[in-house]
Amino acid sequence: MFEREVEDFLEKLRTRREFLKVSGKGVAGITVTASVLNLLGCSNSDVGSATAVVTPKGILISDQSRCVGCQRCEMVCTLTNDGKVHPLISRVKVSRNFNYGTELTSDYRNKDGYFGNFLMTPETCQQCEEPKCAEVCPKEAITLDEKLGAWTVDESACIGCGACTEACPWNMPTIDPEDKKSTKCILCGACADNCITGALKIMPWEEVAAAFKRKGYRFS
């Protein structure tokens, strides 16, 4: 199972991107399994609580077991991108998951969040291959920035209608109540760079390649 999962992951990467080049549509939607996380250096205890998103810059790893819900990532995100501390419009979401995780259930005491198992859940944009937010935008304000490798919002075109928020399966784009513009992750990495517990980190493709090669896998 381990070998098959790793080889499947690598094959999808080989066929959908040139590894060390930015290609915004080339890597989205590829699942990072527990086996792949383990190979990339996550311990067995980390793997059970970690999720990962494949981005053009590398693999963004989010580890619940390390997140303490301090919301530093939200503050740094908005300071970096908006010049103000405003967790509501942060591109990385923690505060909304603080109490009950990403979903409130009748079994909440055994689920994520402060009122459950104390595991916090950092979320960020999935950088979808064919993003719903961009599809529904009436002004075509959300487009792929090849340089950043991310789907970004053109504030001069955005009218703050909120269609992108409604269309996103994870409700990640957020309308700034002050300037009525949509906010969305641009993969700047400020959240991961300033996470004091290591709950968020971006593993660049160079490091991913090295990790695979150490284990004897052909990366490219």
Per-10-residue mean pLDDT of the chain, 220 residues long, equals: 74 58 51 78 68 78 89 96 96 94 92 92 85 96 85 96 96 96 92 92 85 77
pLDDT of residue 23: 45
Q: Which residues 6+ apart lie within 8 Å of 52 measured at CB?
A: 32, 36, 37, 59, 60, 61, 62
Number of domains within the chain: 1
Enter the DSSP assignment of 93.
Answer: B
Cβ 120 vs Cβ 126: under 8 Å? no
CA dist., res. 87 & res. 29, Å (int): 27
pLDDT of residue 24: 45
Tokens of 124: 């960020």
Amino acid identity for residue 95 in this structure: S
**Cross-strand bridge partners of residue 93:** 123
pLDDT of residue 22: 41
Please report, in angstroms and rounded to a whole number, the separation of the first and last CA atoms in the chain: 22
Residue 40 lies in a domain: yes
Residue 220 lies in a domain: no
Q: Residue 46 is part of a domain; what is its CATH number?
A: 3.30.70.20
Chain-centre distance of CA 170, in angstroms?
Answer: 11
Residue 195 lies in a domain: yes
Q: Which domain holds residue 30?
A: 2-214
Residue 78 lies in a domain: yes
